A and B are shown apart, each in its own frame.
Chain A
Amino acid sequence: MNIIGLYNYWIVVVLMLIGFFIVIAHENLIKKLVGLSIFQTSVFFLYISMGKVAGATAPILDENYQLYSNPLPHVLILTAIVVGIATTAMGLALVVRIYEAYGSIEESDIQVQDNNDRLEDYLEAYGHKNDTHLFNQDKDE
Chain B
Amino acid sequence: MTAHFPILQVIIPLLAAPLCLFIRIPRIVGIFAILVSATAFLISCGLLQEVITGGTLSYQLGGWAAPWGIEYRIDKLNGYLLLLVSGVSTIVLVAAQTSISKELPENRHTFFYTAYLLCLTGLLGILATADAFNLFVFLEISALSSYTLIAIGTDRRALTASYQYLVMGTIGATFIIIGVGLMYMMTGTLNMYDLAERLPAVYESKTVLSAFGFFIVGVCLKLALFPLHLWLPNAYAYAPSITTAFLAATSTKVAVYVLIRYIFSIFGIEFVDMSLPLGDIFLFLGLTGIFVASVAAIYQLNIKRLFAYSSVAQIGYIILGLAIETELGLTATLLHLFNHALMKAAIFLAIGAVVYRIGSAQLSHYAGLGKKMPWTMAAIVAGGLSLIGVPLTVGFVSKWYLVVALLDKGWWPVAVLVLISSLIAVIYVWRVVEWIYLTPPRIITDEIKEAPMSQLIPIWILVLANIYFGVDTRLTVGVSKLAAQSLFGVN
Does A60 make an interface contact (CB < 8 A)? no
**Measured CA separation A86–B163 after assembly (Å):** 14
Q: Interface residues of A toward B: which range? A: 35 or more
Return the CB mask of A82-126 against B: 1 if under 8 Å, else 0. 010011001100110110011000000010001001100110111
Stretch in B38-46, B165-173, B415-423 touching the partner: B165-173
Contact of A76 among B133, B163, B362, B444 (CB under 8 A): B133
**Measured CA separation A80–B448 after assembly (Å):** 49
Closest chain A residue, CB of each to CB of B175: A43
Contact A40 B174 (CB under 8 A): yes
Does A66 make an interface contact (CB < 8 A)? no
Which secondary structure characterizes the binding site on chain A? helix
Contact of A91 among B136, B156, B166, B444 (CB under 8 A): B166
8 A Cβ contacts from A2-46 to B: 20, 23, 29, 32-33, 36, 39-40, 43, 46
Q: A46-B178, A46-B181, A138-B447 are in contact. Are A23 and B171 (CB under 8 A)?
A: yes
CB distance from A115 to the nearest CB of B (A): 11
Contact A83 B358 (CB under 8 A): no
Closest chain A residue, CB of each to CB of B156: A101
Specify which chain B residues have a CB less than 8 angstroms from the CB of A141 in the assembled complex. 359
Please report the total number of B residues contacting A with Cβ < 8 Å: 40
8 A Cβ contacts from B120-171 to A: 133, 136-137, 140, 144, 147-148, 151, 156-157, 159-160, 162-163, 166-167, 170-171
Does A131 make an interface contact (CB < 8 A)? yes
**Measured CA separation A114–B170 after assembly (Å):** 24
Q: A43-B174, A47-B181 are in contact. Are A121 and B163 (CB under 8 A)?
A: no
Contact B156 A102 (CB under 8 A): yes
**Measured CA separation A73–B181 after assembly (Å):** 8
Chain B CB count within 10 A is highest, among A20, A29, A101, A126, for A101
The contact sample of 6 A-B pairs, CB cut-off 8 A, is A50-B185, A79-B137, A80-B136, A94-B166, A134-B443, A139-B445
Top 3 A-B pairs, shortest CB-CB distance: A125-B364, A101-B156, A83-B140
